[in-house]
């Protein structure tokens, strides 16, 4: 279980607090208006933004002071998830060895991961020679290979069309179910949450609220959420 | 419709005139040089040695500047400390710093009785001489290390922040970051930075004049100056001018094949991206040392100029004050010419969609000021006494030298203003002067102020063509300073240096600040 124990994050005038738990294997959508602090919440969990007070814990161990690479976490950013000068295979391989010196067995793992996300035979192409959806799949293949128990998605599919985005979300849900990973995904679109999320964290007014069951929150939305959805 | 055509014609006319004037000036002086050059005599041994020295000092200066700039830029890119912004701003200052002021400062630190040599003598070691190749290279590194650092720092800053976060989340070591993030960036930035510094050193006359000299440390431009002023051998000067022009054009053509980095004047002010892999104590200590070394290398000579100059500033002889007034007048004329040329060419280029017009305006960067000066000297000499035209020629050549920077600032700003508001202005019927006053000038206030400040400071501090033309009673402030140094009047020279520094920086600050106000 990922626990955020009474954390507060401060950046200049902006402050965000959260006191909530994420159950293993759950897919949780993070919804809220622009500038509410959705990405900040993810950055704090990933270790890019320090928390001012409180603790972040995973299965009882404290993560609060750890550098990003030592946390049980993979993160996909909005963009720049890939190095443009490396081919798809090398970009995925970075998830195993940052030095890119892999054993033959590890390269097989890389190819298996590429196969799993549907990129068989495209490993030698560089990101520029692939479509946006295919680039998102490369990043997912790397996350799959790293096999961290928590996956953070900071709107990595925001630039894709609606059809492609739905496809990617389904892939994320499938991968999460196969590996048992928890997923935290930031979104602007309530439809994303309804498509795959078990629970929703509503972020507004400087507070990230505890996760609510997706069906319940949309059948009886709090006022701010219904205003956000325009209903 | 009629008035719209009229407006376009007016922009076309001004732009056409400006471009014709520049082409005539460059082509005319080149023709004069070509006609006068003594091709049959060929290049003598001393000419060849000047060519060799020019290439050697430019290559060395560029190599050393870039080599030191890489670790310094990396340190600045990954450390946050108080006054970081101030230091990075100061690194832009050598660009508008008069060469003579820098020379004074460097002499005070590295010269015969400077800080370093006094220490060496005190410890019991032999003093080192600053004149000759190492003096020229030292001065060039002083000017270009900050420039190269800013260019490379910009490269670092353009690496998206997410890449460093990605590196942190994948557990990259400093070596991984260097191989996967920094080296690809450096491969694309370094050739351009090297060539920019090389070009600057190729046509830097005042440094060679003061720090070089003698048969072993004479650049081509210095040889031109000596041929005109000492031997009065115009045929030889013209031949050398051709060689210099050929070198400049080749280097510029070579530079065009690479993406030349912008001057990076706004770079580096964002908070540096947090770098997880660089938190090790050893790396922190190395970076701190580098930043302190860089700051001292830049600030120590300048502080010495201020310290040495202060005592004599109130007792400066009248001839220095008069020279200062002359320099001010030259700078103002140069500003007026640059702004008129740059605005006309930009308007022509944007409204008529002729991007080549901007490229033509950049020609001045390939033709060295001294080469154009030689041509003008050859043209004027048979008709009149060149000494009488010293200041006019200086202002004109200064304006031409500043034009590439002016266009680089104004062209994108004007095309931006037209792209955003051009249709709105057309719809409202704003044309001619109304468009100029209410759309262009307000939108261009910042680049215009910057351009004027840059031109004024460059012109104020320039010691180039004026040395070819000036009669004894026609000195500009930098020339007067050079003469005081030649006469070993060091206290007056130090005070004149401080005056020159103050005037150049004040002019830049006034114009550039004027652009920021109400902008």
Query: Which of A48, A74, A86 minimises the CB distance to B165?
Result: A48
At B2 the pLDDT is 42
> For the segment B312-359, what is each residue's pLDDT rounded down to a tens digit?
888 899 999 999 999 999 999 999 999 999 988 888 888 777 767 666
At B3 the pLDDT is 46
Residue B169 CB contacts under 8 Å (≥ 6 apart), including other chains: A46, A47, A68, A69, A73, A74, A75
How many beta-carbon contacts under 8 Å exist across A and B? 56
At B58 the pLDDT is 95
B271 in contact with chain A, both atoms CB, cutoff 8 A: no
Q: Which B residues in the span 98-127 are in contact with A, Cβ-Cβ below 8 Å?
A: none
Chain B residue with the nearest C-alpha to that of A74: B169
Question: Chain A closest CA to B5's CA: distance in Å?
Answer: 43
B104, B467 Cβ separation under 8 angstroms: no
Output B276 or A135, whichever has higher pLDDT: A135
Chain B residue with the nearest C-alpha to that of A48: B165
Complex ipTM: 0.77
In chain B, what are the domains?
1-36+316-519 (1.10.3720.10), 42-314 (1.10.3720.10)
At B271 the pLDDT is 66
The crossing angle, in degrees rounded to 10, of helices B99-110 and B445-461 is 60
At A91 the pLDDT is 92
At B494 the pLDDT is 93
CB contact burial B260-269 (16+ within 10 A = b; e otherwise): bbebbeebbe
Q: Of the candidates B268, B306, B223, which has an alpha carbon nearest to the alpha carbon of residue B499?
A: B306
Statement: residue B364 has pLDDT above 60: yes
Residues in chain B with CB shorter than 8 Å from the CB of A69 are 168-172, 276
Residue B369 CB contacts under 8 Å (≥ 6 apart), including other chains: B203, B205, B397, B398, B400, B401, B462, B464, B465
At A162 the pLDDT is 86
Q: Of the candidates B366, B363, B321, which has an alpha carbon nearest to the alpha carbon of residue B345?
A: B363
Residue A223 CB contacts under 8 Å (≥ 6 apart), including other chains: none
Question: Chain A closest CA to B259's CA: distance in Å?
Answer: 18
Return the residue in A11, A45, A48, A93 with the most chain B beta carbons within 10 A, the one to mutate for interface testing: A48
Token couple for B402: 């500043």
Residues in chain A with CB shorter than 8 Å from the CB of B166 are 77, 80-81
Q: Of the candidates B504, B495, B473, which has an alpha carbon nearest to the alpha carbon of residue B315?
A: B495
Dist. CA B106–CA B222, nearest whole Å: 20
Return contacts of B79-84, CB within 8 angstroms, 24+ apart.
Answer: B79/B272, B79/B284, B79/B287, B79/B288, B79/B291, B80/B271, B80/B272, B81/B291, B84/B272
CB atoms within 10 A of CB A78: 15
Residues in chain A with CB shorter than 8 Å from the CB of B180 are 83, 86, 94, 98, 100
Query: Which of B165, B170, B274 minimises the CB distance to A98?
Result: B170
Residue B375 CB contacts under 8 Å (≥ 6 apart), including other chains: B28, B29, B30, B31, B32, B33, B241
Mean pLDDT to the nearest integer, B469-480: 89
Chain B residue with the nearest C-alpha to that of A101: B176
Question: Chain B closest CA to A191's CA: distance in Å?
Answer: 27
B450, B515 Cβ separation under 8 angstroms: yes
Token couple for B242: 């051709």
At A226 the pLDDT is 80
Fill in the DSSP letter of residue B38: -
B169 in contact with chain A, both atoms CB, cutoff 8 A: yes
Q: What average pLDDT is seen over chain B?
A: 86
Dist. CA B263–CA B451, nearest whole Å: 13
Bridge partner list, A10: A15
Phi, psi angles (nearest 5°) of residue B121: -65, -40
Least confident segment among A165-179, B47-61, B328-342, B415-429: B415-429
| Cβ pair A80:B163 closer than 8 A | yes
Dist. CA B325–CA B176, nearest whole Å: 57
* Percentage of residues in chain B having pLDDT higher than 70: 92
Token couple for B265: 């004047």
Return the residue in B161, B170, B188, B280 with the most chain A beta carbons within 10 A, the one to mutate for interface testing: B170
Token couple for B268: 């580096």
- Torsion angle, CA of A207/A213/A215/A219, rounded to 10 degrees? -50
Return the residue in B158, B169, B173, B175 with the most chain A beta carbons within 10 A, the one to mutate for interface testing: B169
B136, B64 Cβ separation under 8 angstroms: no
Question: Chain A closest CA to B181's CA: distance in Å?
Answer: 8
Cα Rg of chain A, angstroms: 18
- Confidence bin at B258 (pLDDT 50/70/90): low
B166 in contact with chain A, both atoms CB, cutoff 8 A: yes
Output B422 or A101, whichever has higher pLDDT: A101
At B278 the pLDDT is 80
| Cβ pair A69:B168 closer than 8 A | yes
At B90 the pLDDT is 86
Least confident segment among B14-28, B57-71, B216-230, B445-459: B14-28
At B73 the pLDDT is 94
Residues in chain B with CB shorter than 8 Å from the CB of A67 are 168, 276
Q: What is the helix (H) or strand (E) element at residue B311, kind and residue range?
A: none
| Cβ pair A80:B166 closer than 8 A | yes
B171 in contact with chain A, both atoms CB, cutoff 8 A: yes
Mean pLDDT to the nearest integer, B5-16: 67
Q: What is the helix (H) or strand (E) element at residue B114, kind and residue range?
A: none
> For the segment B431-463, what is each residue's pLDDT rounded down to a tens digit?
777 777 778 888 888 899 999 999 999 999 999
At B504 the pLDDT is 94
A173, A197 Cβ separation under 8 angstroms: no
B164, B273 Cβ separation under 8 angstroms: yes
Helical segments of B203-280, H only = 205-211, 220-229, 234-256
| Cβ pair B162:A68 closer than 8 A | no
At B264 the pLDDT is 46
At B507 the pLDDT is 94
Token couple for B381: 């000499």
- CA distances (Å), B218 to each of A145, B50, B314, in order? 63, 5, 36
B211, B130 Cβ separation under 8 angstroms: yes
A11, A49 Cβ separation under 8 angstroms: yes
Q: 3-state SS string over chain A?
A: CEEEEEEEEEECCEEEEEEEEECCCCEEEEECCCCCCHHHHHHHHHCCCCCCEEEEEECCEECCCCCHHHCCEEEECCCCCCCCCCCHHHHHHCCCCCCCCCCHHHHHHHHHHHHHCCCCCCCCCCHHHCCHHHHHHHHHHHHHHHCCCEEEEECCCCCCCHHHHHHHHHHHHHHHHHHCCEEEEECCCHHHHHHHCCEEEEEECCEECCCEEHHHHHHCCCHHHHHHHCC
Token couple for B135: 């003096």
CB atoms within 10 A of CB B381: 15
- CA distances (Å), A196 to each of A179, A182, A183, B498, in order? 16, 12, 10, 71
Statement: residue B66 has pLDDT above 70: yes
- Confidence bin at B362 (pLDDT 50/70/90): low
Residues in chain B with CB shorter than 8 Å from the CB of A77 are 162, 165-166
B187 in contact with chain A, both atoms CB, cutoff 8 A: no
Q: Which residues of A touch B (CB under 8 A)?
A: 46-48, 67-70, 73-75, 77-81, 83, 85-86, 94-95, 98-100, 146
At A198 the pLDDT is 94
Dist. CA A47–CA A66, nearest whole Å: 7
| Cβ pair A69:B276 closer than 8 A | yes
At B358 the pLDDT is 65
- Confidence bin at B262 (pLDDT 50/70/90): low
CB atoms within 10 A of CB B111: 23
Chain B residue with the nearest C-alpha to that of A73: B169
Task: Give the pLDDT of chain A (231 residues) as one tens digit per residue.
Answer: 999 999 999 988 899 999 999 999 999 999 998 889 999 999 999 998 999 999 999 998 999 988 888 899 999 988 888 888 889 999 999 888 888 889 999 999 999 999 999 999 999 999 999 998 999 999 999 999 988 999 999 999 988 888 889 999 999 999 999 999 999 999 888 888 998 999 999 999 899 999 999 988 888 787 778 888 776
Statement: residue B266 has pLDDT above 60: no
pTM for this predicted structure: 0.81
């Amino acid at each position: 279980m990922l626990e955020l124990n009474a954390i507060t994050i401060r950046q200049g005038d902006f402050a965000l607090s959260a006191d909530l738990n994420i159950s293993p294997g759950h897919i949780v959508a993070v919804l809220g208006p622009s500038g509410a602090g959705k990405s900040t919440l993810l950055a704090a969990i990933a270790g890019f933004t320090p928390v001012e007070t409180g603790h972040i814990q995973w299965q009882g161990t404290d993560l609060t002071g750890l550098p990003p690479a030592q946390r049980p976490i993979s993160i996909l950013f909005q963009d720049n998830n890939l190095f443009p000068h490396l081919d798809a295979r090398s970009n995925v391989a970075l998830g195993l060895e940052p030095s890119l010196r892999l054993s033959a067995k590890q390269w097989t793992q890389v190819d298996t991961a590429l196969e799993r996300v549907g990129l068989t035979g495209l490993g030698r192409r560089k990101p520029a020679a692939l479509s946006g959806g295919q680039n998102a799949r490369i990043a997912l293949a790397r996350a799959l290979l790293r096999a961290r128990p928590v996956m953070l998605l900071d709107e990595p599919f925001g630039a894709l069309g609606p059809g492609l985005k739905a496809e990617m979300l389904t892939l994320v849900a499938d991968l999460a179910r196969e590996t048992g990973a928890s997923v935290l995904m930031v979104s602007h679109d309530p439809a994303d949450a309804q498509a795959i999320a078990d629970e929703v964290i509503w972020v507004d007014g400087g507070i990230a609220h505890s996760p609510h069951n997706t069906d319940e929150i949309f059948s009886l939305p709090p006022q701010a959420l219904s205003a956000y959805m325009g209903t | 419709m009629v008035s719209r055509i009229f407006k376009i014609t007016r922009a076309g006319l001004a732009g056409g005139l400006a471009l014709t004037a520049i082409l005539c000036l460059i082509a005319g002086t080149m023709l004069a040089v070509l006609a006068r050059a003594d091709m049959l005599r060929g290049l003598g041994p001393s000419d060849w040695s000047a060519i060799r020295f020019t290439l050697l000092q430019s290559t060395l200066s560029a190599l050393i500047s870039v080599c030191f700039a890489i670790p310094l830029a990396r340190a600045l890119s990954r450390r946050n400390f108080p006054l970081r912004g101030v230091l990075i701003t100061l690194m832009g200052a050598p660009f508008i710093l008069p060469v003579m002021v820098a020379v004074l400062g460097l002499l005070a630190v590295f010269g015969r009785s400077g800080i370093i040599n006094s220490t060496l003598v005190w410890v019991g070691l032999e003093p080192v001489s600053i004149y000759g190749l190492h003096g020229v290279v030292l001065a060039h590194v002083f000017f270009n290390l900050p420039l190269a650092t800013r260019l490379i720092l910009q490269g670092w800053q353009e690496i998206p922040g997410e890449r460093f976060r990605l590196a942190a989340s994948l557990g990259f070591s400093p070596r991984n970051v260097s191989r996967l993030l920094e080296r690809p960036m450096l491969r694309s930035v370094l050739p351009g930075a090297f060539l920019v510094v090389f070009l600057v050193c190729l046509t830097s006359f005042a440094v060679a004049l003061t720090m070089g000299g003698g048969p072993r440390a004479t650049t081509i431009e210095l040889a031109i100056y000596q041929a005109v002023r000492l031997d009065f051998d115009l045929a030889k000067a013209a031949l050398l001018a051709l060689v210099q022009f050929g070198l400049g054009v080749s280097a510029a053509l070579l530079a065009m094949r690479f993406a030349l980095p912008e001057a990076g004047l706004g770079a580096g002010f964002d908070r540096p991206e947090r770098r997880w892999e660089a938190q090790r104590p050893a790396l922190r200590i190395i970076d701190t040392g580098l930043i302190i070394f860089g700051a001292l290398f830049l600030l120590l000579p300048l502080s010495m100029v201020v310290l040495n100059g202060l005592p004599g500033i109130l007792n400066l002889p009248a001839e220095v004050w008069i020279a200062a007034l002359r320099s001010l007048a030259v700078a103002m004329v140069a500003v007026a010419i640059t702004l008129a040329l740059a605005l006309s060419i930009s308007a022509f280029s944007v409204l008529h969609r002729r991007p080549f017009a901007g490229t033509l305006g950049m020609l001045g960067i390939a033709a060295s000021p001294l080469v154009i000066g030689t041509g003008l000297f050859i043209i004027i000499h048979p008709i009149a006494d060149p000494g009488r035209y010293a200041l006019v020629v200086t202002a004109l050549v200064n304006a031409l030298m500043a034009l590439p920077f002016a266009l680089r600032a104004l062209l994108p700003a004007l095309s931006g203003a037209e792209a955003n508001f051009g249709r709105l202005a057309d719809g409202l019927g704003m044309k001619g002067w109304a468009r100029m006053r209410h759309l262009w000038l307000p939108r261009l206030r910042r680049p215009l102020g910057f351009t004027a400040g840059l031109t004024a400071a460059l012109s104020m501090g320039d010691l180039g063509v004026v040395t070819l033309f000036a009669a004894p009673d026609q000195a500009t402030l930098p020339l007067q300073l050079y003469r005081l140094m030649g006469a070993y009047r060091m206290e007056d020279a130090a005070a004149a240096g401080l005056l020159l520094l103050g005037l150049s920086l004040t002019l830049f600050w006034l114009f550039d600040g004027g652009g920021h106000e109400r902008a």
